[in-house]
Amino acid sequence: MKKNGIEEIKKQIVIERLRQAPSTVRISFGASDVDFMNRDEMIDQVEKETDIGKKIIKIQLEYLKSFKENIVKAN
């Protein structure tokens, strides 16, 4: 099955945003210390489109959307 081009572009945008983060960054996706992921692990999850990867994409796109909306409101 061929991927939707727009969805692939969204995924690539998120991957590029994650690559801009320091390699030492760690983010928690749960309540314990074992739920932390580093930048490269997050990129891997996005590339593989796991449940966590899809969540990362959703969070990043929501952030970009809110950022854009705040810029428009400021003008």
- What digits encode the pLDDT tens for the residues 24-50? 999 887 766 667 899 999 999 999 999
- CB contact set of 52 (below 8 Å; sequence gap of 6+): 29, 37, 42, 45
Query: Which whole-number Å values give the CA distances from 68 to 14, 35, 46, 73, in the listed order?
Result: 16, 30, 23, 9
d(CA 28, CA 8): 25
Check pLDDT > 50 for residue 1.
Answer: no
What are φ and ψ of residue 27, in 5° steps? Answer: -125, 140
pTM: 0.80
Question: Could you give the dihedral angle defined by the CA atoms of residues 47, 22, 37 and 59, in that order, rounded to the nearest 10 degrees?
Answer: -60
